[in-house]
Structure 1
Amino acid sequence: MPDSVADAVSPRATQRRAGGGPAGLPGAGEVTDVLPAHRRDAATSGKEEDTEQPFGEPGKPLTRGPFLWGLTAALGVLTAWALAQALVSSRGVIVLIVVAAFLAVGLNPVVEALQRRGMNRRWAISIVFLGVIAMFVLFGFAIVPPVSQETSDFVGAVPGYVQSLLANPTIKQLDADYKILANVQTYITSGGLGATVAGGILGAGAVVLDAFFSGFTLLVLTLYFLGSLPVIKEYLLLVVPATRRTRTRAIGDQILTGIGGYVAGNVLISVIAGGLSWLFLTIAGAKYALALALVIAVTDLIPLVGATVGAVLVTAVGLLQSVPLGIACAIFFVVYQQVENYVIYPRVMSRSVNVAPAMSVIAALFGGALLGAVGALLAIPVAAAVALIVREVLLPRQARL
């Protein structure tokens, strides 16, 4: 048998030394494995399974039958429903967060103005925040005493009202026919009145406690947002691609400046309305002129309907004091609202928000329908931000197409 054949069939000849074969074959001095293909696969498959797939190769994917498709769709619907329920349940928290961020953006220009005068940002935030707290305290001291006095006066006058009713001939006839006083006495002695009053007191206490907690939470969130506003701005810019950060920063700064200008302008208009109302009510001799002027200032913050609501409330209080005072209040507020709408508001807001009047009305209506007074307050600056984005981003892109 030739030596080459013996080497090929020998069990020990699993390797050979190649000595310069044809192109593509191993060169001289290289050792090549000549095991059959199926033996090489069997030898390496175990190592691959141990390192890459310790549990074996995955099977074929499940067929997307009707049952699997329906199950996936049902799970998607349940997940969407759960998210919607979570958003509805946390609506109050979301409103607090949005209002706190809005107030922080509105107060930030004042903080930056103090910083430009050489003051540290922390001290500037402290001064602005103390001013906000002082405003709330002043409002409470101006509103609570008149309300308490009026309540005590009404409680003291109740016996006189009862005696006047008893002396009325019509009431006497109704009592004789339907035993009204006897039924009232039975209702009082049976404990029904006490339970109703106790329930009303508890409900009013719960409302007051909830309002206090919401106000405290709003102040804390505003303080945190105001302190970390520069960090939040820089963090949000990291989400934007690097090539667009410069333009995005400029647009974002313009939006924040507009919101801050809107808040400052709205507060200035409310201060003017409250100051002029206080001056008029003091000259007219109205009781609790400061408290009524604060009501005008607070309600004037709400766009469209706020000034009218405050004017109606103060006019009603004036009518309860005297008819001439009520008529004078109605005339004053009608004249002042015309001056505010056509003189004061355009001059103050012309540099902060650039929104068409019709768009402002539509935005305020949608905001009020979605979030009430808070939505109406936020609607105009949001509409201004959307208009800016459309003008600076969408319209140039459409012009290049």
Structure 2
Amino acid sequence: MTASPDAQTPSSEVAQAETPAPAETAAHRDEERAEGGAAAWTATPESPEGPEGATPGLPYGMPGKPLSRGPFLFGLVGGLGVLTAIAIGQLITSSLSVIILIVVAMFLAAGLNPAVEALQRRGMKRRTSISIVFAGVIVMFVLFGLAIVPPVSQESADFIAAVPGYFDQLTANPTLRQLDSDYQLLPKLAAFVTDTLAPSLASGVVGAGLVVLDGVFTGVTLLVLMLYFLGSLHTIKEYFLKLVPASRRSRTAAITEEILTGIGGYVAGNVLISVIAGALSWAFLTFAGARYALALALVIALTDLIPLVGATIGAVLVSGVAFLQSVPLGIACAIFFVIYQQVENYLIYPRVMKRSVDVAPAVTVIAALFGGALLGIVGALLAIPVAAAIALIIREVVLPRQARS
């Protein structure tokens, strides 16, 4: 029987039918390059170098190995990463004062927010409540300045007016006259005052003026930032909550609200304790007959805001000023402040702070020490609410997750 031509197809013809034409291969490679980038060249027995004109748009042939796999590009990217990290570190270091100012303004805004919300609950609009609270802060700053600046100015003027009298008393002293005749002390003293002391005092006055101007500028900037953050606190909070996954947003919002409430309670409690300290100090100093009792009481109230060491610093300063007035007054002030600090530490502070921050006493001391070592007074002020926030996150997030694992 003679087989039909269709049944007698040679194997070579089958292989040739299964192998795509060169044009089809080139088109397939073009499609692969369009979809996934440059692919490796596949040589064929018919065209080991590729058919002529098979790569339109690539007159120099197929691209080679990607540079991302080479050591040069890896080292270049790594070096750029290191340089970027160094630049970011230098940027943070150079702008650390601005960052601290922003953090303090946000901290104060969160602390004043409960007062604003309390006024809102009485039927006031938020803008009106913010205006009232901010006006109260401005009035406190003005009263503090009016209480501190006049005594300091008066004491400075009295000292300057008394300097010629002190000089006349020294020159009238017999012993000093004898020493001056033997060693020419007065001409040397006059030369020292003219050549060394006067330029130093002049530069010191200029430097003190610059420090005062810088402090005023910083205070105004702090007040403006605090007003801005206080007005847009809810907007900022909602914006940051949008960065949290939707499945965890409600829980994160609850924890954030608890943290802000704790910060507000801490600021309000700390201010209340300082007001109590200042009021009792003013009453005692007035009763004891101390000069500038209101100014000294404001010093006590201001330093009492600093955790751990603030009350002691204020007591030492005020007692020292009292000793300059009279020794019995200084001793009475020292006794009063020692007794008051014990009352504040064991009676006033625990009752005021028990509803604001839930932090163990040992953690409070450690946090204040670390904060003071890192950022000074600002760090000590921020350390306790930050420690309370960390403790809340550990209690509500970390510990439940460890219990489930």
Question: Separation in 2 of the partners of 1:242 and 1:199?
Answer: 60
Letter in 2 for 1:197: L
| C-alpha distance 197-245 of structure 1, shift in aligned 2 (>3 A) | same
Aligned match of 1:287: 291
Aligned match of 1:15: none
Aligned match of 2:24: 40
Aligned match of 1:332: 336
Question: Separation in 1 of the partners of 2:100 and 2:403?
Answer: 38
Question: Separation in 2 of the partners of 1:151 and 1:237?
Answer: 54
Question: Separation in 2 of the partners of 1:216 and 1:70?
Answer: 48
Question: In the alignment, does 2:273 pair up with 1:269?
Answer: yes
The secondary structure found in structure 1 opposite 2:358 is coil
Aligned match of 1:11: none
Aligned match of 1:395: 399
Letter in 2 for 1:182: P
Q: Give the counterpart of 2:184 among 179, 193, 201.
A: 179
Aligned match of 1:143: 148
Letter in 2 for 1:136: F
Displacement of 1:201 after TM fit? 1.6
What are the residue-to-residue correspondences of 1:114-193 with 2, within 5 Å? Answer: 114-189=119-194, 192-193=196-197
Letter in 2 for 1:348: V
> Normalising by structure 2, what TM-score?
0.85
Aligned match of 1:60: 65
Aligned match of 1:31: none
| C-alpha distance 75-169 of structure 1, shift in aligned 2 (>3 A) | farther
Question: Separation in 2 of the partners of 1:49 and 1:341?
Answer: 76
Question: Separation in 1 of the partners of 2:170 and 2:221?
Answer: 47
The secondary structure found in structure 2 opposite 1:149 is helix
Letter in 1 for 2:220: F
Question: In the alignment, does 2:251 pair up with 1:247?
Answer: yes
Q: Give the counterpart of 1:381 among 376, 385, 392.
A: 385
Letter in 2 for 1:164: Q
Aligned match of 1:349: 353
Question: Separation in 2 of the partners of 1:168 and 1:297?
Answer: 44
Offset from partner CA, 1:34-86 (integer Å, 9 cap, x none): 99521234457678878997778653123544x66555444333322222221
Aligned match of 2:264: 260
Aligned match of 1:28: none
Question: Separation in 1 of the partners of 2:152 and 2:159?
Answer: 11
**Percentage of pairs with the same residue:** 70
> Normalising by structure 1, what TM-score?
0.86
Q: Give the counterpart of 1:111 among 96, 109, 116.
A: 116
Offset from partner CA, 1:334-375 (integer Å, 9 cap, x none): 111100000000000000111100000000000000010110
Offset from partner CA, 1:63-119 (integer Å, 9 cap, x none): 544x66555444333322222221111111011001000000000000000011110
Displacement of 1:306 after TM fit? 0.4
| C-alpha distance 42-150 of structure 1, shift in aligned 2 (>3 A) | same
Question: Separation in 2 of the partners of 1:177 and 1:79?
Answer: 69
RMSD: 2.5
Aligned match of 2:310: 306
Question: Separation in 1 of the partners of 2:386 and 2:31?
Answer: 62
Letter in 2 for 1:77: V
Letter in 2 for 1:213: F
Question: Separation in 2 of the partners of 1:176 and 1:57?
Answer: 102
Displacement of 1:178 after TM fit? 4.1
Question: Separation in 2 of the partners of 1:318 and 1:211?
Answer: 28
| C-alpha distance 44-216 of structure 1, shift in aligned 2 (>3 A) | same
Displacement of 1:164 after TM fit? 2.4
| C-alpha distance 396-195 of structure 1, shift in aligned 2 (>3 A) | same
Aligned match of 1:320: 324
Letter in 2 for 1:201: V
Q: Give the counterpart of 1:234 among 212, 235, 238.
A: 238
Aligned match of 1:363: 367
Question: Separation in 1 of the partners of 2:179 and 2:159?
Answer: 25
Offset from partner CA, 1:217-261 (integer Å, 9 cap, x none): 000000000000001111111111111111111111111111100
Aligned match of 2:12: none
The secondary structure found in structure 1 opposite 2:390 is helix
Question: Separation in 1 of the partners of 2:33 and 2:86?
Answer: 43
Q: Give the counterpart of 1:216 among 197, 212, 220.
A: 220
Question: Separation in 2 of the partners of 1:319 and 1:77?
Answer: 58
Aligned length: 370
| C-alpha distance 205-269 of structure 1, shift in aligned 2 (>3 A) | same
The secondary structure found in structure 1 opposite 2:65 is coil
| C-alpha distance 275-58 of structure 1, shift in aligned 2 (>3 A) | farther
Question: Separation in 2 of the partners of 1:112 and 1:57?
Answer: 69
> Which stretch of structure 1 is more off in the superposition, 164-173 or 346-355?
164-173
Question: Separation in 2 of the partners of 1:195 and 1:286?
Answer: 36
